[in-house]
Amino acid sequence: MSNLAPKPATAEQRWTHDPVLTVEHLTMRFGGLVAINDFSFEVGRGDITALIGPNGAGKTTVFNCVTGFYKPTEGRITLRRGRGIRPESVAELTRSGRQSARADGGELFLLERMADFRITHKAGVARTFQNIRLFGGMTVFENLLVAQHNELMVASGMTFAGLFGLPGYRRARQEAQDLAVDWLRRTALLDRADDPAADLSYGDQRRLEIARAMCTKPALLCLDEPAAGLNPRESAELNDLLRSIRDRDDVSILLIEHDMGVVMEISDHVVVLDYGKKISDGTAEEVRNDPRVIAAYLGVDDEEVEAVEEKLEHGDLAGAAEVAGVAAPLSEPGEGGAR
Ligand SMILES: Nc1ncnc2c1ncn2[C@@H]1O[C@H](COP(=O)(O)OP(=O)(O)OP(=O)(O)O)[C@@H](O)[C@H]1O
């Protein structure tokens, strides 16, 4: 809708000086359709970052590129494990043609070069899906153990004998069980541990998906519409869970969410996509009051677009909001979904 450049980020924002994920010039084409068009953004280490936008804006496509489900047509996607990794190290890895490198006391990964299972297990990017994908016939506890299968196999030395004889395997198995129990407690699912996952309520299944992703010990947790289908109480519990993951586990979160109540309440950083392009990027407060977002998100009729853009080009934000027919900000925390 609007081709106006997004507002530049201010210096104190964490995502500009300590990003865990940097997406640069991402483009994704499906035949003649350009789903993502030269899109760049960062996820700050220790931030909850929301990727929002109207239906079909390209949010899931971005997730699919970050998690390796799609190979981007163009662009670089860098994951930094460890603080203080220099741009020179990223440039050197890019030139080398390799997928990852140890640098500046941390580890660097170029996700666009990696297969999805390596992105999960090596780079530490975990994901949940819009449509829940649990092993419904397995118990809740088994779902959390399966998530740790990769580490357990490594501990077994990849041998049958190793499953029985190696002390390293026994230790790893105990650790896997402890981690699973810990996440059952944190998601209030301990008393459902032996029930089939399919028997859980929708809200419980959503929390189990997050617990399962956390059992892979990620650096970045990507959540595709985690609040979809939740009632207000479950939504509030989800907010608490995500804040605790950010604050206690030192895990950065990138989420797609349509529920503006959730987005505005918990996000440190909000990035807005429309027609595959970034139209706004800032704190929840900044984005909520950005007429570009108001215009795109709440829908400005085609004939009004030019008038809104003209106002914006002259810096008349209030006038643009007026043309968009929206005097109030997007929505206040706790108000629920506005789309
Ligand atoms: N595999 C694909 N093949 C062809 N087109 C695709 C494919 N995946 C996505 N698209 C198209 O790319 C565009 C962006 O879709 P995407 O699902 O990423 O949007 P979204 O913002 O996640 O939408 P929603 O909020 O409805 O989930 C749409 O026009 C969609 O039809």
Per-residue tens of pLDDT for the chain, all 339 residues = 444 444 444 445 888 888 999 999 999 999 999 999 999 999 999 999 999 998 899 999 999 999 999 999 999 999 999 888 899 999 999 999 999 999 999 999 999 999 998 999 899 999 987 777 778 778 898 899 887 776 666 655 556 555 566 666 677 778 888 999 999 999 999 999 889 999 999 889 999 999 999 999 999 999 999 998 899 999 999 999 999 999 999 899 999 998 888 899 999 999 999 999 999 999 998 888 787 887 776 566 656 767 776 776 777 777 777 776 665 444 444 444 333
Q: Is any atom of ligand 1 closer than 6 Å to the C-beta of 58?
A: yes
337 lies in some domain:
no
Q: Are residues 77 and 164 in the same domain?
A: no
CA–centroid distance, 64 to ligand 1, in Å, is 10
Q: Are residues 72 and 110 in the same domain?
A: yes
333 lies in some domain:
no
129 lies in some domain:
no
Q: How far is CA 9 from CA 116, 223, 280, 285, 286, in A?
A: 31, 24, 10, 13, 10
Q: CB–CB of 2/320 below 8 Å?
A: no
Range of the domain at 109: 1-124+218-288
- 21, two tokens: 């994920």
Q: Whose CA is nearest to atom 11 of ligand 1?
A: 35
Residue 153, classified by CB atoms within 10 Å of its CB into exposed (0-12), middle (13-18) or buried (19+), is middle
Instruction: Label the pairing between strands 277-282 and 19-30.
Output: unpaired
- 238, two tokens: 């989800």
Q: Are residues 148 and 197 in the same domain?
A: yes
Examine the fold and report which residue of 217, 252, 273 is the final residue of a domain before the chain moves on. Answer: 217
pLDDT at 137: 79
336 lies in some domain:
no
pLDDT at 333: 45
Q: Are residues 141 and 263 in the same domain?
A: no
Q: Is any atom of ligand 1 closer than 6 Å to the C-beta of 28?
A: no
CA nearest to 26, candidates 59, 82, 65: 65
Q: Are residues 147 and 86 in the same domain?
A: no
Q: Are residues 268 and 151 in the same domain?
A: no
CA–centroid distance, 275 to ligand 1, in Å, is 10
Cα 166 from Cα 228, distance rounded (Å): 44
Helices assigned H by DSSP within the chain: 14-17, 59-66, 87-96, 116-118, 140-146, 149-155, 160-165, 167-186, 202-214, 232-249, 260-266, 284-288, 291-298, 302-313, 317-323
Q: CB–CB of 41/282 below 8 Å?
A: no
Q: CB–CB of 68/119 below 8 Å?
A: yes
Residue 248, classified by CB atoms within 10 Å of its CB into exposed (0-12), middle (13-18) or buried (19+), is exposed
pLDDT at 327: 54
Beta carbons within 8 Å of 229's beta carbon, 6+ residues apart: 202, 203, 206
100 lies in some domain:
yes
Q: Is any atom of ligand 1 closer than 6 Å to the C-beta of 241?
A: no
Q: Are residues 54 and 110 in the same domain?
A: yes
Which of 61, 225, 259, 339 has the most ligand 1 atoms within 8 A of CB, as the residue to mutate? 61
pLDDT at 83: 86
Cα 282 from Cα 18, distance rounded (Å): 15
Q: Whose CA is nearest to atom 24 of ligand 1?
A: 55
Q: Are residues 94 and 227 in the same domain?
A: yes
Q: Is any atom of ligand 1 closer than 6 Å to the C-beta of 218?
A: no
Q: Are residues 202 and 246 in the same domain?
A: no
Q: CB–CB of 100/122 below 8 Å?
A: yes
269 lies in some domain:
yes
75 lies in some domain:
yes
**Tally of domains within the chain:** 3
Q: Are residues 99 and 223 in the same domain?
A: yes
Its pTM stands at 0.83
pLDDT at 168: 65
Q: Whose CA is nearest to atom 7 of ligand 1?
A: 30
Q: Are residues 183 and 268 in the same domain?
A: no
Q: Are residues 52 and 198 in the same domain?
A: no
Which of 34, 59, 222, 224 has the most ligand 1 atoms within 8 A of CB, as the residue to mutate? 59
